[in-house]
Structure 1
Amino acid sequence: MNSSGRLDSLSDAFTKNFITFAVGLIINCINGAFVYTYCKSQVFQRDPRYVLYIHLVINDMILLTVSVMLQILTYSIPLTFAPCCILLLILVTTNKNSPLNLAGMAVERYIAVCRPLHHSQICTVQRAYALIALIWVVSFFPALTDVFITLATQPFAVFSSNVICYPSYVYNTPYHEAHSQVVQVLLLSFVFLTVIITYLKVLCAARAASGSNQASARNARNTILLHGVQLLICMLAFIAPFITIILVTMWPRGRTTIIFTSFLFNNVLPRLLSPLIYGVRDKKFSSHIRMHFCCKCLNSVEEKVKLVGPQRRSRLMLH
């Protein structure tokens, strides 16, 4: 059974789960390569910009893992209410972490361009970790509130019953709906205004700067613009259920396919954006990735050549 509550055939269920698992595994492997590069290079660990970036990547990996796990579990193993709430707690928290982290990264770029003399004092690694902790606290409380609303409105026996572990099915009371709308509007409005204001400030700084400062401001402006694009994709994830309802109403026979496609494009594939936008685009990060992985490939080839060499010599001596 999928998140729509409708049974799929065995072949359809296997195909959807295989696609979700394969795509999720590939994206997590790519993201894992960036995390590995960060952990191996102290130059990134001493820069708050990369600290925030790698937190975004790790957060996306957690979000993707839980999303794929829930997708597979809804097809295979019925979950009781309690473990489902725990998984949804992680899912909702990490989902709200992403836009807040984008806002933090946009502010850091604004300070680097518009307040360069104060950047080293304001943007430190310790403050970056403090901001990450604050982001988790701010995102965790709305997710925990959903659980408290369920405790207050549902009988306690519901926690031992089997459920379809999907947010709209578990948190289905009018209180949940009102709470979700308020939190989403406040969260996205705050992040959207932060990105817009920092972009305009950096844009003005780019026009006023000259030479290398202008190039640096232009790069920061483009980075914040990409923050805005990723924020729009985050917003798309929030409005995706309404789009899905419209599409299902228009094509009811393709209900399961529409819901699966919406899940794939709104919950799975966007997790690949962070490494593509920042890791590949950033020259320092991309050069370190090539250095780490290309050197490993060359070393493995050299080791194979060294092992093959003595074998060939021994064969020649025998002949």
Structure 2
Amino acid sequence: MAYNNSTQTNGAPVLLRKLNYIFIVVQILIAFFLYLNCLLITTFFKKGAFRRSMRYILFAYTLTSDCLYLLVTNVLLIMSLFDIFMQIWICILLLIVVSVYTFVFPLALTMMTLERYVAICMPMQHGALCTPRNALHCILIINAISSIPISISLSIYWASVPLSIYMEGRICSMEMLIIHRWQSHYWSAITQLYFVIMFVIVVFCYVQIGKAARKASGETKKSSGKGLRTVLLHGFQLILCLTRLWCPLVEAAIMRYDIILYSNVRYANYIIFTLAPRCLSSLVYGLRDKAFFLMLKYYAVFGLCYKSHPVLAD
């Protein structure tokens, strides 16, 4: 973000006030989401019943990855805003975290959707398939798949630049790793491939759960309906966070013509496509789940408003 360039224009004071206002709003939102996520993670570790459920293990992993992703992206946003340079080797380490956890989030959502599909459409197999051990295997698979795009990009970068460049200082951004023009096409292609696969899986689960909900009755119908709404929310989150993968291309095109519009679009993209889908994670499981929400309220007020600790089966 060209902070120095903007201060040289006639409208610099107005632009700076606007950027400061948006910057403060973004920091407040990040602080709130980090606080809420930490409460949810604390709630998860306080009860053994949560740690034995695949859905809650994946949920806790998603929250943890969200916290790390928000912290690193916020640091990069601040450094970009104030034109703070960073040695390239440090920047690469941060970009690895950003890239991996950019893909971890939608993949974890897809895995959580599959868990709901098994729970509702294959209830007899749910206990055998959705175990804590399998949840950990899923997390390893998610990380492995998420590491593929950045691994290929880094291999190309290491083969294309001299070793001396790693000690140079630059403004850290993902565009720094693009050496050849075709690399942007590669990134776009692999993003679309991931999107298509995950979107097909979510749609399939939604259709199958919808069929199960229509056939069910009583408590089973109620549970299926809730699962259907959960999958729908996951689909919405998936669209938001995958749209974020195309934002750098749009931002780079806008920056060439209008720096003020670029600043506004960059902040808007960050709030809508980075903060919003991760906020919904807390809503989908943390606040809509009665057992989890009961424990969350207790720890949020440090138990001051409760005569006794909420009782949940361990």
Same fold (TM over 0.5): yes
SS at match of 1:297: coil
What is the root-mean-square deviation of aligned Cα atoms in Å? 2.4
Shift of 1:268: 3.2
Shift of 1:100: 0.6
Pair 1:138-2:110 in alignment: no
- The structure-2 alpha-carbon separation of the partners of 1:127 and 1:185, relative to structure 1 and needing over 3 Å to count, comes to same
2:204 to 197, 205, 211: 197
| Paired residues of 2:160 and 2:179 also in contact (CA < 8 A) | no
Q: Distance in 1 between matches of 2:235 and 2:256?
A: 31
**CA offset digits 1:43-85 (Å, max 9, x no partner):** 1111111111111111111110110011122225310111101
Q: Distance in 1 between matches of 2:201 and 2:226?
A: 18
1:286 to 265, 270, 293: 293
Partner of 2:310: none
2:58 to 52, 56, 79: 52
Q: Distance in 1 between matches of 2:27 and 2:146?
A: 26
1:26-37 equivalences in 2 (<5 Å): 26-37=32-43
Q: Distance in 2 between matches of 1:52 and 1:195?
A: 16
Q: One-letter code of the match for 1:224? A: V
- The structure-2 alpha-carbon separation of the partners of 1:215 and 1:268, relative to structure 1 and needing over 3 Å to count, comes to closer
2:73 to 67, 76, 81: 67
Deviates more, 1:9-18 or 1:152-161: 9-18
Q: Distance in 2 between matches of 1:135 and 1:265?
A: 24
| Paired residues of 2:4 and 2:83 also in contact (CA < 8 A) | no
1:8-19 equivalences in 2 (<5 Å): 8-9=6-7, 11=16, 15=21, 17-19=23-25
Shift of 1:246: 6.6
| Paired residues of 1:248 and 1:258 also in contact (CA < 8 A) | no
Pair 1:296-2:297 in alignment: no
Deviates more, 1:175-184 or 1:118-127: 175-184
1:93-112 equivalences in 2 (<5 Å): 93-112=100-119
> Normalised by the size of structure 1, how large is the TM-score?
0.85
Pair 1:254-2:261 in alignment: yes
Q: Distance in 2 between matches of 1:144 and 1:190?
A: 20
Pair 1:233-2:240 in alignment: yes
1:133-212 equivalences in 2 (<5 Å): 133-212=140-219
| Paired residues of 2:188 and 2:246 also in contact (CA < 8 A) | no
Deviates more, 1:170-179 or 1:207-216: 170-179
Pair 1:86-2:93 in alignment: yes
Q: Distance in 2 between matches of 1:132 and 1:156?
A: 34
Partner of 1:117: 124
Shift of 1:250: 7.7
Q: One-letter code of the match for 2:33? A: I
Higher-helix-fraction structure: 1
- The structure-2 alpha-carbon separation of the partners of 1:6 and 1:266, relative to structure 1 and needing over 3 Å to count, comes to farther
| Paired residues of 2:106 and 2:238 also in contact (CA < 8 A) | yes
Q: One-letter code of the match for 1:191? A: M
| Paired residues of 1:34 and 1:279 also in contact (CA < 8 A) | yes
* Runs of 5+ consecutive residues of structure 1 not aligned to the other structure: 301-319
Aligned residues: 298
1:129 to 116, 128, 136: 136
SS at match of 2:66: helix
Shift of 1:247: 5.8
Q: One-letter code of the match for 2:79? A: L
Q: Percent identical across equivalent pairs?
A: 24
Q: Distance in 2 between matches of 1:251 and 1:152?
A: 34
Q: Distance in 2 between matches of 1:210 and 1:16?
A: 49
**CA offset digits 1:118-173 (Å, max 9, x no partner):** 10001101100110011111111321221111111223322122222111233342
Partner of 2:280: 273
| Paired residues of 2:244 and 2:269 also in contact (CA < 8 A) | no
